[in-house]
Structure 1
């Protein structure tokens, strides 16, 4: 009989807690640790420990982890680096890579020239982060056993700059029980103006200003509802610039209030297009929701994920396509293309299923056990 691996999942905050759902089953015995002062109610049946994140709390978690066989770190901040470097080598460590942990350390590569010019001196002052605590960070990379990522293509790109990355393990994608008939095309058509989402957050990696300037050049811009998702992230010099550029223009709207999952899905049901002008992997949750809801997706040509998604069979489009589609009032998917993307998403969740992910990781964790 297969013995479940004792696994500790460590989060900072509640935002991405659903990531550990892919471990549910017979192969992993899961305990979730959350560092957060915000108290929430959790689903029954989950073993969850919530702590504030004090030095005493961190030491307590290190003690808990020392009794585990596998520790999964969601993000790689200073607290998780400390935990990783405190654990003996016989305990396996997996890092669920989100993106910013590496991209933030080479940010100039992923900001457009327009974004860089806008930030100016502010960007130079922030560049210290690229070298901040690099020694401890590098030690943590050497200690961690597994890199849990969305795409092996992205992993190989990152290895060019970070040669000592842990071994890649392909993450699973959520199963899709619905069928294409769940896409509500009437809702999109009945919108007073076609709804186009710009970016996924307040993050500067969205390079919003390039898209805002592109929109401003369109004579028919008043016919659209360009909505920026500004309800996730921190208010900074960059975000103030975006607010200034969009203020007083009735074709621009900012969503600033937190949305429940139902509200998030409802927004995408009404949306015609999603534009993410990032030069790096980000917003994949938004992109997959877009595919599920029949939304046309535009990505920057410099974003590796545009090319990866095309190879996986999705119909995605470039920012240049977006400019042409605005001029021709074509910033929405045909039903055939929407159905294609839905079906490809379903194929992807089968190709990279939770079961396959669990089997691969379990095999790696037990590889050298007698």
Structure 2
């Protein structure tokens, strides 16, 4: 049996689909619910093998312990949440403990990494109430150091496998925390196997910036990049449906000041079809993150034929270049005269073909199944 440790958030449905397809009778899903700040991005799925329990509660720990003692694999879908790190003493030593690296564990918990660019940092801090700014500068640093310590402890003593499709993140992790875990492959993303060639939109002008109202998107620095470009015939879409409310207000205010009604903030969670429709109307996607973030949105944009700009230090940039995708550097390419030109049809088809080849659902499912069966086989031998 595989015990899945998940959160009630937008990737839940995809995770359940994958595992119900590959091992339909072997999964139990323990889904952490934050009743104080619920972010439900889907209609709640109700199955006999699913338990929605408030995070950090005594009941959560009881349910975890009950199923962990019977599990062959405990599969942690991210490890950056406090309530998961605090399960350390309850994790059995006789199970295979698997962690799917989301990225926030390295970039969000690690006190040695700064993900924010200067203009965004300045604009955000100058608009924060003094008390919140002090909490952020002092208390959040204390919390981050404590949780980084917990994370290192759980990684080095409890985790057997680290899974991700971005191997560059594993290399980065090793540079901060040398560990003896086995490495493997996993992703939630899969390419829709519809015929994209018939639906490619060649004439589109809009721009999509970032994926959330998190300061790691570096929106203000991105706005400065496009200020000197001609956007008179374009809309600038900015997804802000989840994250920091204070930061959201800063982004909307600055975006409206610079771009007037050209700036279109997306403040409500959209159905996937609506979101895809917006992406299909964009020729440019700018993800100005220093850290790995928003892989699914980036791949959706590539699959739709968008021209994607990423920062050089972003491990997704290195990963996609390694896989052969045509993606562009914020630092090296955005200053050029042709930066705002869309991809040609040939360039779009090259990216879409690669996306289909590497990430179509049947391929993703097969790779994950092989990975999980290999871990189960190893568990049987112990």
The interval holding the TM-score normalised by the smaller chain is 0.7 to 0.9
Two-structure CA RMSD over aligned residues (Å): 2.6
Q: Does the Cα contact within 8 Å between 1:62 and 1:83 map onto a contact in 2?
A: no
Cα distance in structure 1, aligned partners of 2:282 and 2:343: 11
Q: Deviations over 1:246-292 (max 9, x none)?
A: 12412222111110111111211222111000112111000110111
Match of 2:71 among 68, 71, 76: 68
Alpha carbons of structure 1 residues 252 and 167: separation in structure 2 relative to 1, 3 Å: same
1:90 equivalenced with 2:94 (yes/no)? yes
Counterpart residue number, 2:256:
247
**Normalised TM-score (structure 1):** 0.87
Alpha carbons of structure 1 residues 180 and 56: separation in structure 2 relative to 1, 3 Å: closer
Match of 1:57 among 60, 69, 77: 60
Cα distance in structure 1, aligned partners of 2:378 and 2:297: 36
Alpha carbons of structure 1 residues 46 and 63: separation in structure 2 relative to 1, 3 Å: closer
Counterpart residue number, 2:216:
205
Match of 1:21 among 6, 17, 20: 17
Q: Deviations over 1:1-29 (max 9, x none)?
A: xxxxx011121213221124333324871
Counterpart residue number, 1:232:
242
Match of 1:264 among 272, 275, 284: 275
Q: Does the Cα contact within 8 Å between 1:10 and 1:32 map onto a contact in 2?
A: yes
Counterpart residue number, 1:138:
152
Cα distance in structure 1, aligned partners of 2:96 and 2:25: 13
Deviation at 1:212, TM superposition (A): 0.6
* Range 311-320 or range 110-119, more displaced: 110-119
1:81 equivalenced with 2:81 (yes/no)? no
1:34 equivalenced with 2:31 (yes/no)? yes
Alpha carbons of structure 1 residues 8 and 262: separation in structure 2 relative to 1, 3 Å: same
Counterpart residue number, 2:319:
308
Q: Deviations over 1:38-74 (max 9, x none)?
A: 6875568773222233222322222122111111112
1:11 equivalenced with 2:6 (yes/no)? yes
| Structure 1: gaps spanning 5 or more residues | 1-5
Counterpart residue number, 2:310:
299
Counterpart residue number, 1:321:
333
Cα distance in structure 2, aligned partners of 1:364 and 1:117: 47
Q: Secondary structure of the residue that 2:87 maps to in structure 1? A: helix
Cα distance in structure 2, aligned partners of 1:120 and 1:164: 36
Counterpart residue number, 1:3:
none
Alpha carbons of structure 1 residues 7 and 202: separation in structure 2 relative to 1, 3 Å: same
